[in-house]
Amino acid sequence: MLGVAVSAAMLLDMVMLSTGMRVSLRNLLLSRGFQLRLAPKGTLPFDTDATIPDASNVIRVLHTIPDITAISPVLGGQLHISIGSRTITATALGVDPAVQGDYEITEGHTPTAPNELVASDDFLRASGAKIGDTLSAASGYDPQLRSFTGRRTLILVGRAHFLYMASEQRAVAVPIATLQQMRGNAARDRASLFMIRARDGADVDAALKHIQAALPTVTAVSTETAMRQVDERLSYFRQLAFILGAVSLGVGFLLVTTLVTVSVNERLGEIVVMRAIGVARSRVVLQIVIEGVVIMFVGTIAGLGLGLATARYLNSILAAFPGLPAAIDFFLFEPRDAWGALGLLTVAGILAGIYPSWRGASLPIAITLREEAVG
Amino acid sequence: MSDTLLIAHDLRREYHMGEELVRAVRGVSLHVERGDYLAIVGPSGCGKSTLLNLIGGIDQPTAGTVTIDGARIDQMSDTEVTRFRLGHVGFVFQRFYLMPALTAIENVELPMAEAKTPRVERMRRARELLAYVGLAERSDHRPAQLSGGEQQRVAIARALANKPQFLVADEPTGELDAKTGAEMIALIAQVNRDGTTIVVVTHDEGLARAARRVVHMRDGVIVDDRRQDAR
């Protein structure tokens, strides 16, 4: 039974693994309703440090395209923030606070003035800063002069949950103009990414084609396009999950076949006596098949718990991968997957019981009784 | 209705055991009257159990015919003969073969459930039968909680569940001690007195003495067939 439970757990984990990253990434990309993204030509969002020039013109062009309702420019970078004698380096996002889709405020308010910033829990924990504190920030460091560049005093106005950041990643956000100004000429009127929201019911693919035609010097991707690219990159995961899932199912099938066969062999006398007293062969087959299904079912229930616990543990390890958004789950539990795994295992249980049950129900009664008597 | 319940005509049963062809039954003809009590005796390997299996419909003859109550069971399909056994033949085996997961009363109900007897009716009859074999107080016990004699009594109750016309028993006292065996002999005689035709295969002289008719077999043929006063 333990073996069946382990097989069921592994099958569930593989089913969860095969869809987990894809579904959680899709949920993440759509979590704030942005269906389109613009990145520097030939890159994926935040794949490189490259930026898109002439950001204000890009925004102006995008506003001319039908169905686009919101444009959220994002500039990435780093801020070195001095707290007493310490300096904490954090990933910095320059955003348009009115339409940003990178964080959710959990305390305080979003930065509206040029000298305001919000920070992640991890930053606040590391720095010890509190909402209302005035912080000294710099966007760069000149190793020759051994001094910070792009310095500015900022006021911490909120605590935020950053959607795309890795776990334990220290992050802050400021208005995009502030970060552009702090980074100097290199970032003037530049953005790393534009997130674009289309109106509900709009043809996103048509909007994408409009953007590609109007802005040929950037790469535009829709969530669906991004998911296709992710699918290509994750095909190895899915193949591995499929193979291991199939192996688990096969092992479970063989285990149940063996258990039912052993059970039948131990009860040959009972089985042929049932036939002798007039129990129909189909009834005997059904009863033994049900035994197989019960074994598989009980094993599967135990396996579901085991699988969920294993998935949670593995997820906690994999979630610590550097650069991976904390919101991405490798193993994502969806009831549909659990039912799917349960259904597959039930079918396997039925199939596993058919051969030994048919064999048991088809034994010649007299010969079997004679052999039982001798044995 | 004819007085003859069972007619076996020129029955033969051959099978291979490895390379060797075994002729277990070599042309046996037998008539059994309704209400009769017949014991088949003989040395081990003489073919008596094989003959019992053939007339009980759990084995197919190589040649010859078996007619029970006018029905040629040797010509029936597996499904037909299974259905026939359910309604017409009760079986008692040396090793009892009760279903270990079921209670005594559930074991007795089993053939009635297969015959689709309504639940209330089959529970009532199962209780009656357990009382008949002296186990009214043990109906909710599982086989492992019963002695050998009690298990064989449950097996007899199970065999009588669907009111069969005749009951076949293969060494029903073979695994019982002398005292319990004697009680079993008395119970089987009572079943016969209450109208059920009985054919037993036995090495037990006491059981054979209780029968009205004793058939002696040797080397697959009947060598003696005589009536005796039932005791």
pLDDT digits (tens, 9 = 90+) for B108-135: 999 999 999 999 999 999 999 999 999 9
For residue B1, the model assigns a pLDDT of 53
Whether the predicted pLDDT of A325 surpasses 80: no
Closest residue by Cα to residue B201 from B51, B42, B11, B39: B39
- Rounded CA gap, A141 and A89, in Å? 11
* Contact at CB, A278 and B87, closer than 8 angstroms: yes
pLDDT, residue A375, reads 56
Closest alpha carbon within chain B to A365: B58
Residue of B nearest to A278 (CA): B86
Averaged pLDDT, A23-27: 80
Between B58, B90, B162, which is nearest A366 by CB? B58
Residues A155-190: pLDDT tens digits? 999 999 988 888 778 999 999 999 999 988 888 899
C-alpha to C-alpha distances, A134 to A100, A124, A129, B69, B198, nearest whole angstrom: 23, 13, 9, 107, 105
Q: Would you tell me which residues 103-162 of chain B have a C-beta closer than 8 angstroms to some C-beta of chain A?
A: 110-111, 114-115, 158-159, 162
Q: Is the pLDDT of residue A300 over 60?
A: yes
pLDDT at site B230? 53
Which of A6-10, A51-55, A134-138, B74-78 has the least mean pLDDT? A6-10
Name which of B142, B79, B73, B84 is nearest B111 in CA terms.
Answer: B84
A270 reaches B (C-beta below 8 A): yes
| Nearest one of B54, B63, B65 to B8, comparing CA atoms | B65
Query: Tokens for A13?
Result: 């984990």
Q: Considering the entire predicted model, what is its pTM?
A: 0.68
The complex's ipTM? 0.90
Q: Do B91 and A277 touch (CB under 8 A)?
A: yes
In the predicted model, is pLDDT for residue B229 greater than 90?
no
**Which residues in chain A touch residue B99, judged by CB atoms under 8 angstroms apart?**
270, 274
Residue of A277, A281, A367 best to disrupt the B interface, most CBs of B under 10 A: A277
For residue A233, the tally of other CB atoms under 10 A from its CB is 11
Domain boundaries, chain B: 33-61+70-227
Q: Does A273 touch chain B (CB under 8 A)?
A: yes
- Beta strands A218-222 and A147-162 are unpaired
Mean pLDDT of chain A: 85
Q: Provide the CB-side half-sphere exposure for B32 (13 A, CA).
A: 32
Write b or e for each residue in A90-100: b if 16 or more Cβ atoms lie within 10 A of its Cβ, otherwise e.
Answer: bbbbbbbbebb
Q: Is residue A374's pLDDT more than 70?
A: no
Could you state, in order of their start, the residue ranges of all structural domains in chain A? Answer: 2-26+234-374, 42-216
Residue-wise pLDDT for A160-169, tens only, equals 998 888 877 8
pLDDT in tens, A53-106: 889 999 999 888 888 889 999 999 989 998 878 889 999 999 999 888 889 999
Task: Tell me if chain A has a CB within 8 Å of the CB of B82.
Answer: yes
pLDDT at A10: 81
Give the pLDDT band (50/70/90) at residue B158. very high
DSSP class of residue A145? Answer: T
Residue A253 pLDDT greater than 80, yes or no:
yes
Percent of chain A beyond pLDDT 90? 22
Average pLDDT over residues A128-156: 87
Residue B61 pLDDT? 95
Contact (CB<8Å) A275/B59: no
Query: How many angstroms separate the CA atoms of A234 and A240, rounded?
Result: 10
B44 touches chain A (CB under 8 A): no
Helix (H, G, I), strand (E, B) or coil at A308: helix
3-state secondary structure of A305: helix
Closest residue of chain A to B160, computed from CA coordinates = A277
pLDDT in tens, B159-172: 999 999 899 999 99
| C-beta atoms of A278 and B83 within 8 A | yes
Predicted local confidence at residue B231, as pLDDT? 52
Give me the pLDDT at residue A203, please: 86
Check if A358 contacts B (Cβ < 8 Å).
no
What stretch of H or E contains A24? helix A2-30
Shortest CA distance from B100: residue in chain A: A270
Residue A235's pLDDT band, with cuts at 50, 70 and 90, is confident
Q: Are strands A103-108 and A134-142 parallel, antiparallel or unpaired?
A: unpaired
Residue B214 or A299, more confident: B214
Q: Which residues pair with B20 in a beta bridge?
A: B17
Give the per-residue pLDDT at B84. 95
In CATH terms, the fold of domain B33-61+70-227 is: Rossmann fold (3.40.50)
Mean pLDDT confidence for A111-140:
91
Q: Does residue A261 carry a pLDDT above 70? A: yes
